[in-house]
Amino acid sequence: MPELPEVETIVRALRPVLCGQIPIKITCLKSKILRSTEAWTDFLNHPVTDIARKGKLILIKTPPYVWLIHLRMTGQLWWQHKNTPLPAHTYLIINMKNTKYELRYADVRQFGYWQIVHESKLSNIPFLQKLGPDALNITPSLLEKQLQKKRTAIKTLLLNQQCLAGLGNIYSDEALWLSGIHPLTPANLLRSHQIKKLARAICKSLQRGLLLKGSSIRDYLHPDGSKGLYQKHRLVYAREGLACMRCQTPIRRIKIQGRSSCFCPQCQKLPES
């Protein structure tokens, strides 16, 4: 699943090519992918002024409309010449004025979707209303506030987009390993110095992910089809049985609320309650 660094990498790649383009035609090959209460034709012929990210969500701004793109598990955006064969599982194609390139959306598992809304209604979207602070800019005091009085396992909270927006399984495992915190630690048992360390580790792991242009472990690709490099430099994620890079203890994997979590049993000890 694309997380903050993967989504931000896509946004940075698309910004220079999409800004100024004028969408003139939408072809939707799977109706559940495009959700809108308004007529599709209304969205066309408004130039793209910006492309942004909120958590793992992509926002293409074509005032007075905003196109919200939820990639979810396997959504992929492609910017390709119209003569290039369509990537497998392409369900949306957006043609632009005066260019032979088009924006394509492919999604093997079809959990992702596009929502097109009038900008005046943006603040009514429940997903956006509930979204927590962006993980890339999290400060120790803000993280402390988000975790306050919660007995939930820290790993579960880090994955909760209402607590913190942008983290998924990869970078939350990395941040917990960097800060020496066991993924099952109840958040209310974390001490101030640990939260401080964790906030720094979250930013550091996301920055590493950005620098390496994301992680192409499964379906994630850049809009030109190239791969991210993070999977070659991961610290603990998906390293079950391999030696911890700090202490050589074999990395363990456990399931927490259905999501797997890799950690070092030596560097990341559960506090005694």
The window from 68-76, 114-122, 191-199, 261-269 that contacts Zn ion (CB under 5 A) reads 261-269
| Of 36, 152, 231, 266, the one binding Zn ion by CB under 5 A | 266
Binding status of residue 93 toward Zn ion by CB under 5 A: no
Give yes or no: 133 in active site. no
Angle 169-178/192-211 helices, nearest 10 degrees? Answer: 130
- Chosen residue from 15, 208, 246, 252 binding Zn ion by CB under 5 A: 246
- Would you count residue 247 as binding Zn ion (CB under 5 A)? yes
Nearest distance in Å: CB 112, Zn ion:
36
Per CB under 5 A, the list member of 244, 261, 262, 263 interacting with Zn ion is 244
Burial of 204 (0-12, 13-18, 19+ CB in 10 A): middle
Count CB neighbours of 116 within 10 A: 20
Q: Assess contact for 239 and 267: CB atoms under 8 A.
A: no
Q: How far apart are CA 250 and CA 237, in angstroms?
A: 13
First to last CA, the chain: 34
Q: Is 267 in the site for Zn ion (CB under 5 A)?
A: yes
| 240 near Zn ion, rule: CB under 5 A | no
Query: Does 29 sit near Zn ion (CB under 5 A)?
Result: no
Which residues, numbered 119-148, are part of the site for Zn ion (CB under 5 A)? Answer: none
Closest to Zn ion by CB, 155 or 213: 155
Beta bridge partners of 93: 27, 104
Judged by CB under 5 A, the number of residues near Zn ion is: 7
**CA–CA separation, 266 and 273 (whole Å):** 18
At closest approach, how far in Å is the CB of 260 from Zn ion?
A: 18
- Please give the structure tokens belonging to residue 36: 């809108």
Closer of 152 and 266 to Zn ion (Cβ): 266
How many Å apart are CA 35 and CA 115, to the nearest integer? 5
Q: Which helix (H) or strand (E) element contains residue 17?
A: helix 4-18
User: Which residues lie near Zn ion (CB under 5 A)?
Assistant: 244, 246-247, 249, 264, 266-267
Give catalytic residue positions.
2-3, 56, 259
